[in-house]
Amino acid sequence: MWSEHLDVVNVGLAGFGDNIRDAGGSVTTLDWRPPALGDPGTALALARIAGHPEIERANQVAFERYLSAQPVLTDVMPAGEAIPAMAGERLILHSGPPIAWDRMAGPVKGAIAGAIVFEGWAPTPEKAAELAASGEISFSPAHHHGAVGPMAGVISPSMPVWVVRDATSGRLAYSNFNEGLGKVLRFGANGPEVLERLRWMSTELAQALRPAVQRLDGLELKPLIGQALHMGDEVHNRNAAATGLLLKRLLPALIATGPDNAVLSRAAEFITGNDHFFLNVSMAACKAMLDAAAGVPHSSMVTAMARNGVNFGIRVSGTGDRWFQAPANPVDGLFFPGYGVADAAPDLGDSAITETAGLGGFAMAASPAIVKFVGGTPADATAHSRRMREITLGVNPVFTLPALDFGASAAGIDVRSVVDTGIQPVINTGIAHKEAGVGQIGAGVTTAPLPCFTQAVDALADGLGLAAGAAA
């Protein structure tokens, strides 16, 4: 080193950096702050796994699997048929990490009660709630079954699901149908008109869509999403373009499979009337890409971010099925007229799977329209998209952002980078009313809470025998 020009990174007292500069040296002074929320144990664990060759190798594998996944929309079928664990069982899936009935948030309870009545397991939502509390019904996170759902994310056996297949690995992912805005089950509404719509969706709509989707013979979703990004969607909070693109493919197939005109007209009206129709397809595609990256031992790549209305949870490729949870962060956003922070339910839903896959908030630069909706400027949006590159393993070259000169969207969140930089993954989200059934009352931007990531770092270090207590 004696022959080299000394080039110093100054970590700590800024004065030392100034002195080096005064003396004619080269120095970069960091804007340092304690990593890992100031926990020295986790900071040390993080340092031990930073750049660790085992993790670097694992991340390379996981990220490559994520990149090479090819989600393809292949089918529509009832959840009970698609998801083996649901067949013939009184099992209801919900969003986010596991949670017991008595701790569930209002909108989730409302949605579950609605699903129980919809299945015919109870006559009224009140009776349904009693049944749910009795332990007669099983609950499980959708994520545990390859499925995802927005907001309450409630999926019961008779509900139709999109089936998305990763053509590379053959793995399947599912999501329910989007019901539109207003009084809908995913916001906890369970009145007669909600159940009526669900019944129609599970019968007439699903029966019409199934042959049409099959007729498309595998609709590749990554190119469709990439195209939607160039048309102003970030495919989480804005799906107007993607819904149009999907419809463009579906409509000829629908017509060709020949349902009667009245059915066709109702189906077309329903789809065209809901700009979020594609959201659930986008989520299933993201789930397929991320499940491809899951289960690589020691990998620090995040494979799921999801909220159950109480806690925010993440899953990491190298730590198996574990959830790392913390209370959800508040949402910084705009409320519809007549509503305010006091009315808001905690952040909810599996839809942050889109951010996990490099879309949504990570791709916000693509979507000037959403920026206005969530309260911000286009400059904020590009700054968000750029900042996310600091915490990801890489970018997804298929998802390019015009506002970043067609630079690719950041993807593959590395828990180590989150904990080291303190930069929290940004999430575009809708805001649900805390009371079941009122529906969406706003939208905004939130972040994934840091404690989830510090726990994951501790767990990864533990997996290598490098946790803070261990002698290295």
Mask of contacts with other proteins, 409-438, x by CB under 8 A?
Answer: -xxx----x--xxxx---------------
**Shortest Å distance, C-beta 49 to other proteins:** 10
Per CB under 8 A, the list member of 218, 232, 244, 407 interacting with other proteins is 407
**Shortest Å distance, C-beta 11 to other proteins:** 5
Identify which range of 232-240, 245-253, 318-326, 398-406 contacts other proteins by CB under 8 A. 398-406
Asked if 346 contacts 430 with a C-beta cutoff of 8 angstroms, the reply is no
Q: Which of 394, 392, 460, 455 is nearest to 423 (CA)?
A: 392
Interface with other proteins, residue 10, by CB under 8 A: yes
C-alpha distances in angstroms, 407 versus 69, 103, 392?
Answer: 20, 43, 14
Mask of contacts with other proteins, 202-221, x by CB under 8 A?
Answer: --------------------
Pairing of strands 26-29, 91-94: unpaired
**Minimum CB distance to other proteins smaller for 19 or for 124:** 19
Per CB under 8 A, the list member of 31, 102, 217, 260 interacting with other proteins is 31
Which residues 6+ apart lie within 8 Å of 196 measured at CB? none
Asked if 360 contacts 236 with a C-beta cutoff of 8 angstroms, the reply is yes
Identify which range of 58-66, 135-143, 241-249, 293-301 contacts other proteins by CB under 8 A. 58-66
Interface with other proteins, residue 469, by CB under 8 A: no
Interface with other proteins, residue 392, by CB under 8 A: yes
Identify which range of 130-138, 218-226, 285-293, 399-407 contacts other proteins by CB under 8 A. 399-407
Per CB under 8 A, the list member of 40, 84, 182, 320 interacting with other proteins is 40
**Shortest Å distance, C-beta 317 to other proteins:** 14
Site for other proteins in 219-258 (CB under 8 A): none
Q: Read off the DSSP letter of residue 347.
A: P
**Shortest Å distance, C-beta 217 to other proteins:** 25
User: What is the biggest distance separating any 2 CA atoms in the chain, rounded to whole angstroms?
Assistant: 84
CB neighbour burial string for 436-468, b if at least 16 within 10 angstroms, e if fewer: bbbbbbbbbbbbbbbbbbbbbbbbbbbbbebbb
Identify which range of 15-23, 263-271, 279-287, 366-374 contacts other proteins by CB under 8 A. 15-23
First to last CA, the chain: 27
Q: Which of 305, 282, 302 is nearest to 294 (CA)?
A: 302
Sign of CA dihedral 390, 393, 394, 399: negative
Interface with other proteins, residue 365, by CB under 8 A: no
Phi, psi (deg, nearest 5) at residue 210: -55, -55
Q: How many CB atoms lie within 10 A of CB 152?
A: 34
**Minimum CB distance to other proteins smaller for 92 or for 419:** 419
Interface with other proteins, residue 60, by CB under 8 A: yes
**Shortest Å distance, C-beta 69 to other proteins:** 13
Per CB under 8 A, the list member of 11, 87, 133, 256 interacting with other proteins is 11
Q: List the alpha helices (DSSP H) in 330-377.
A: 353-356, 368-374
H/E element holding 28? Answer: strand 26-29
Interface with other proteins, residue 390, by CB under 8 A: yes
Number of residues that bind other proteins (CB under 8 A): 71
Interface with other proteins, residue 13, by CB under 8 A: yes
